[in-house]
Amino acid sequence: MSPLRIACVHSGSKRAEQGFQELSRIYSFVPPEECDVILALGGDGLMLHTLHQHLNLGRPIFGMNCGTLGFLLNTYDADDLARRIETAQEFGLCPLKMKAVTRKGETSEFLAFNEVTVLRHTGQSANLRIQVDGVERLAKFVGDGIILATPAGSTAYNFSAHGPIVPLGASILALTPVSPFRPRRWRGALLPHSAEVLIDNLDPDKRPLSATADFQELFEVVSVSVQEDPSHRAKILFDRDHSLQERVLREQFVE
């Protein structure tokens, strides 16, 4: 059996740089285009950037935490890395595709593995109309904005906005309001993963909005449509005793 070809990317932080130097003395890394697996050293932000940057290569990604939380990564350990990768559990993640139209009539498309957000861009609240699969569900939402999160992203911004943690494999998305004012008692919805959500700005002249897909942000948007994109699928590797499913479940019992 030929040796495992590993590429390595890192965030550039002091801790990640130290990890890269340590691992470079043990393993001979190759460019991402020539590898069997990509090793990512950093935090969740670096992991998201790696998913986006190397999605088209189709290589699995094994992350090791050199950041803060590291929800999408494994613990850092330089020992026996090849064995850990070869015995790791693979999790497939389909991103959301955001299509946004600006006031100038320009259309942009981005992918999001965590969430898509539509937020007010000034001190005034956002006035939004929300449709799901072509059916108007909220004629007028007033608040700071809306989050549409994947199961993997439900523990991030969605959770901070008091949205639900969604178990992996549940095939649902979390639609969560950010600081809702009207409807006063609306706290969000759980949607089928195949749902198409359309968010319209009801007052683009006075109440500008921004739309963000993970870390990619647009301004002056007038409409945003979001739907899962099954044509893309990222592959993330986790140690079998520390799977992503277990982390999502454990997060629901944290005090």
Same domain, 104 and 58: no
DSSP 220: S
79 is annotated as an active-site residue: no
Residues 102 and 156 in one domain: yes
Q: Do 80 and 116 fall within a single domain?
A: no
Residue 118 lies in a domain: yes
Count of domains forming the chain: 2
Q: What is the CATH number of the domain that holds 115?
A: 2.60.200.30
Q: Are 154 and 167 in contact (CB under 8 A)?
A: no
36, 44, 203, 239: which one is catalytic?
Answer: 44
Distance between CA atoms of 225 and 240, rounded to whole angstroms? 36
CATH code of the domain containing 12 = 3.40.50.10330
| Statement to judge: residues 107 and 168 lie in one domain | yes
- Domain of 217 in residue numbering reads as 96-228
Domain presence at residue 1: no
Q: Which of 115, 40, 89 is nearest to 244 (CA)?
A: 89
Instruction: Enter the DSSP assignment of 4.
Output: P
Please check whether residues 238 and 146 belong to one and the same domain.
Answer: no
pLDDT in tens, the chain (255 residues): 568 999 999 999 999 999 999 999 999 999 999 999 999 999 999 999 999 999 999 999 999 999 877 788 999 999 889 999 999 999 899 999 999 999 999 999 999 999 999 999 998 999 999 999 999 999 999 999 999 999 989 988 999 999 998 987 789 999 999 999 999 889 999 999 999 999 999 999 999 999 999 999 999 999 999 999 999 999 999 998 766 677 677 766 766
Q: Residue with structure tokens 């990890």?
A: 19
Q: Can you give the pTM of this predicted structure?
A: 0.89
36, amino acid identity? D
